[in-house]
Structure 1
Amino acid sequence: MLLDHDPARSFLPYPAVQVPHAPQGPLAGLDFGVKDLFDVAGYPTGGGNPHVLARSGIKAVNAAAVQLALDAGARCVGKTHTDELAFSINGRNAHFGTPRNGAAPDRIPGGSSSGSASAVSNGLCDFALGTDTGGSVRVPANHCGLYGIRPTHGRIPLTGSLDLAPSLDTCGVLARDADVFARACAALLGEDAQQRGQPRLMLAEDVYALLEPEVRAVHAPLLEALAARPQGLARATVAQPSFDALFTAFRHVQGHEAWQVDGALIDGDGLQLGPGVKERFAFSREVTDAQYTQYSAARARFRDTLAALLGEDGVLVLPTMPDVAPRLDEAEETLDAYRNRALRMLCLAGLSGFPQVSVPALRRLDAPLGVSLLGPAGSDRWLIGQALALLPAA
């Protein structure tokens, strides 16, 4: 870590190593943090687990996404904490602790990109790289009052990073400033393959129905303002055939791939896994090849259905999360119940592979609350522009 002080415990306390970056470029003058799933030359890659850290060794080559930011002129200031093996969305690591949420210090930061969100929300760097498999950029963006993107699957390369579930894993960006967010995303995403015009906005009505009435009430003024635009706000049902069916498909696909990635390491090294992560890997161990095939087919059907709904210019408006971040003292069982509620809405982008942008547009209980736009595959830069224009930050 290159910072003199880390009061939020956002970064791993690795010895300081300068990482060469371009002297000029669109991100010159900006500092960024890197989730400890990505290789950074001169540092180990720990993946949020002491066994993985012990096996890592010092990396000689930067992950592809890290190199893109460096080539654009940004300075890497260190490696940020991650939830264990990236298999959580809470931000509490049994081995390394919980980074501080800069927007709501009495609440969890969200994971698994917890350190990245903490570093940005506490003003320790300008933007940070994270990964999003089940929601690990969008969740901490919601909880910490940040802009965040889960891009189209495969849009930003993951070469040189630790996998969780490869067909679901993405590299995302977190920032507290809209301009910095747009600049950092531009450097990593490149240009969209096609130009798009005016968006056809659709309210994800069934997703909003998942919210408690008091949370829907906070969203209502923004939705009314969007509906009052000349283009209006159509209504759509998104979760086909149902939220439970999609959640089940997501859980089995993610679980099977996670066990293929980490199972041999867990069994071979006897990894001591923390609460929640241990149980999720226990479930993952039992997912059969036949189930993976079955639920992968269900995933493909949903992707086709959502693609038909969106077309080339459709954009869904939806809540990023069911509510603001839970408090730090919540029991693991309460956090797991919240996680399962959240994944029912988060899995829409995960299963489809389509981009989702979260904006810190609302507040409730003196804590930030995100609103998202979800668009067609490959529309990432266009979607960011729409989100920044239509969803002003609180």
Structure 2
Amino acid sequence: MTADAHAAAAASARCFVPYPPVPLENAAAGPLAGVRLAVKDIFDVAGYPTGCGNPHRLAMSGIKSSSAPAVQALLQAGAHFVGKVYTDELAFSMNGKNAHFGTPRNGGAPDRIPGGSSSGSASAVSNDLADLALGTDTGGSVRVPASHCGLIGLRPTHGRVSLAGVMDLASSFDTCGWFARDMGVFSRAGEVLLGPDSAPLPEQPRTMVAADVLALLEPRVQEVFSQTLDRLAGVIGTPQPVKTAAPSFDTLYWAFRHIQGYEAWQAHGEQIRRHDFQLGPGVAERFSWSATITPQQMQQHSAVRAGFREVFQRLLGQDGVLLLPSAPDVAPLLTDSEQSLENYRNQAVRMLCLAGLSGCPQISLPLMRLDGAPFGFSLIAPVGSDRSLIRYAARLMHECA
């Protein structure tokens, strides 16, 4: 692609933050040599501000003198930085629309939202403007855009990848994830970022299907998922149907919402009030609600999380992989109402909170299509099994090639 063609494609995709370019040193050789890297604009990158998808935070940022360790590790592995990309405002959304800066283009389904909050990261990779992009996942911000845009995306084990130099949203859920189109690139990035597994999966994991998650979804979604299980039978065998939500999806949903909201307000509430942040639709309402959560509620819902984590990790054991769709459906249309998008988000949280509350890694693979749009197939695995999960996911990708 010529420089002019690349600039035109980047303008069309609307995913890159238009900061004046600052050259960043990267290793001349390494496992990611020649790989184009985009970085979500909540990571510090030397020579750039960190705007966090919000004009107030951008004005307050200043120019950073060093890069977040996750960024630096990829540069030292040979990746070539091509720019910072937009995020949903303060990373507190799942649809990819930013009231201040617009909506990055979904390269897998241009008439649909890209998903967020790592919207620009998914847009850059799905529009072939980057080969690899860093994002973060608190409540689904890598898994949902990966599903919507037809990409590979990982929410790693909580705490597995450094979040130093990265904006907090809800620290007990925040994770550093990434996107790629190519499994080779994706796997090499994992080798750089993850280090050795503390609890690797066996060569042939025990497979399970989240039957209670499927029961929440429309028959057409269940059907395409079932067809995909049939295509993968040579690798996954016959998965066991299991119940995942203990005690219930509603209980887990509210536990996740309260913990996330409480931590988000602790991280951002003082600045929002002091500087009268003008927040966009959805984000404003979520922060307003978050301001009402009490320490007592936080303690109550943290106890729910602890109980669920014990039950869920026992379900997985050291050898189990749970199979489920990455999202409730394909990406909503760009023309859908704010209320429709909020309803979709609330439905998504009910299934996405399984990995969030348990701290387990979850990978989304572009193995399904529905209504002509990409739709992700997910695997959740035990804490500390991330690299072996990626290797197992690669076998599934090969089976469907």
The answer as to whether partners of 1:19 and 1:76 remain within 8 angstroms in 2 is yes
C-alpha deviation, 1:117, in angstroms: 0.2
Q: Give, as a single letter, the amino acid of the residue that structure 2 aligns with 1:81.
A: Y
Q: Which residue of structure 2 lines up, in the alignment, with residue 309 of structure 1? A: 315
- Check if 1:66 corresponds to 2:101: no
CA distance in 2, matches of 1:216, 1:339: 19
- Check if 1:372 corresponds to 2:382: no
CA distance in 2, matches of 1:56, 1:242: 41
Equivalent residue pairs, number = 393
CA distance in 2, matches of 1:393, 1:148: 17
CA distance in 1, matches of 2:37, 2:125: 8
- Output one character per residue of 1:289-329: Cα deviation in whole Å (capped at 9) or x when no partner: 00001101110111110111111010000110011000001
Q: Give, as a single letter, the amino acid of the residue that structure 2 aligns with 1:331.
A: S
Change in Cα spacing, 1:65 to 1:228, as seen in structure 2 (3 Å) is closer
SS at match of 1:274: coil
Q: Which residue of structure 2 lines up, in the alignment, with residue 200 of structure 1? A: 206
SS at match of 2:252: helix
The answer as to whether partners of 1:28 and 1:72 remain within 8 angstroms in 2 is yes
Return the TM-score normalized by structure 1.
0.97
Q: Which residue of structure 2 lines up, in the alignment, with residue 290 of structure 1? A: 296
> Which deviates more, 177-186 or 202-211?
177-186
CA distance in 2, matches of 1:291, 1:196: 36
SS at match of 1:130: strand
Q: 1:40 aligns with which of 25, 39, 45?
A: 45
Give the CA RMSD over aligned residues. Answer: 1.4
CA distance in 2, matches of 1:184, 1:393: 22
C-alpha deviation, 1:196, in angstroms: 3.0
CA distance in 2, matches of 1:232, 1:79: 43
C-alpha deviation, 1:144, in angstroms: 0.2
Q: Which residue of structure 2 lines up, in the alignment, with residue 323 of structure 1? A: 329
Q: Which residue of structure 2 lines up, in the alignment, with residue 31 of structure 1? A: 36
The answer as to whether partners of 2:201 and 2:389 remain within 8 angstroms in 1 is no
Q: Give, as a single letter, the amino acid of the residue that structure 1 aligns with 2:375.
A: L
- Check if 1:217 corresponds to 2:223: yes
CA distance in 2, matches of 1:167, 1:321: 22
CA distance in 2, matches of 1:185, 1:93: 29
Q: Which residue of structure 2 lines up, in the alignment, with residue 383 of structure 1? A: 389
Q: Which residue of structure 2 lines up, in the alignment, with residue 137 of structure 1? A: 142
Residues 103-252 of structure 1: matches in 2 within 5 Å? 103-197=108-202, 198-226=204-232, 231-252=237-258
> Which deviates more, 282-291 or 181-190?
181-190
The answer as to whether partners of 2:73 and 2:193 remain within 8 angstroms in 1 is yes
CA distance in 2, matches of 1:168, 1:131: 10
The answer as to whether partners of 1:82 and 1:113 remain within 8 angstroms in 2 is yes
Return the TM-score normalized by structure 2.
0.96
C-alpha deviation, 1:230, in angstroms: 8.0
> Which deviates more, 226-235 or 378-387?
226-235
SS at match of 2:13: coil
CA distance in 1, matches of 2:342, 2:302: 24
CA distance in 2, matches of 1:375, 1:125: 28
C-alpha deviation, 1:69, in angstroms: 0.5
CA distance in 1, matches of 2:236, 2:245: 27
C-alpha deviation, 1:184, in angstroms: 1.3
Q: Give, as a single letter, the amino acid of the residue that structure 1 aligns with 2:116.
A: G
SS at match of 1:216: helix
C-alpha deviation, 1:195, in angstroms: 3.8
Change in Cα spacing, 1:67 to 1:343, as seen in structure 2 (3 Å) is same
Aligned-pair identity in percent equals: 60
The answer as to whether partners of 2:231 and 2:400 remain within 8 angstroms in 1 is no
CA distance in 2, matches of 1:176, 1:230: 22
